[in-house]
Amino acid sequence: MIIKLGGSVITDKKRAFKANLRSIRRIARELAKREERLVLLNGAGSFGHIPVKRHRLDEGFSLQKTNSFVRTKLQLLKLQEILVSILCNHGVPVVPFAPSSFMTARSGKLYRVDLDPLRRFLNMGLVPLLGGDLIPDLNKGWSVVSADQMASWIAPRVGASMIIYGTDVAGLYSRDPKTADDAHLIGTVPCRNLRSVARAALGSRMPDVTRGMRGKILEAEKAAKRGVEVVIMDLTRPKNLHPILDGKRGKWTRILPDKRLLE
């Protein structure tokens, strides 16, 4: 199983470099109860998005930006240190990975990934942890690659049966639940219908207000086309991880891969 810990859940996205320690501890307590082989990914939240936007690091390498680049990388390491410390203290045997040391992108898209170290640690019963990062890019020098993109890339290549995107909303809604009182949760979406459902749900706001959800939907489609089920859930309620991992239905969105349509 691959579980992505959303930046909106583990950090305060409005305050630079502020971790949500209470939320991380709650998640750690629930993860410690599971016995599945897990890969954990984390969003950068306020440790990444704020400095990347402030210094325009997403535009690629510039000699004038190298100091800001290095300082942002340091903040990402600090977030990872917080996560590792709390997860370890709760009995989750995490091993941290730096994506920029084994991933390469091309124009912002993952191009080459050496998964052998990750697989080896998985086989030892350890839990790899990695997050959204600034990684080498063949065309841009460096680029921002999200944990969502990493999840959809890694999952089919390590034989994961499910990706869980943990966010601060319960899943995919008919409309933006933060602005529309009549929004209702979409429980199950076949992969082949995902784009039409997303288009109807997010409409013209898709590239702007709901950019985070849009990215998840695009990456979920990639994973589902390769046979991986995707769940979008509210990780501010981490106890919901148990029924999801146990295959039960509830107040979250399941995106079914093509092969499930035949079952």
* Cβ-contact 93, 125 below 8 angstroms: yes
Q: Going from the N-terminus, what domains does the chain have, and what CATH number goes with each?
A: 2-262 (3.40.1160.10)
**Helix, strand, coil content of the chain in percent (nearest 5):** 45, 20, 30
Q: Does residue 262 have a pLDDT over 90?
A: no
* Cβ-contact 163, 131 below 8 angstroms: no
* Cβ-contact 162, 2 below 8 angstroms: yes
Predicted TM-score (pTM) of the model is 0.91
Q: What is the dihedral of CA 249, 22, 75, 149, to 10 degrees?
A: 0
Q: CA torsion sign, 89 to 92 to 97 to 99?
A: negative
Q: What whole-number distance in Å separates Cα of residue 174 and Cα of residue 187?
A: 10
* Cβ-contact 253, 185 below 8 angstroms: yes
Write out pLDDT tens, residues 70-92: 999 999 999 999 999 999 999 99
Write out pLDDT tens, residues 152-164: 999 999 999 999 9
pLDDT value of residue 37:
96
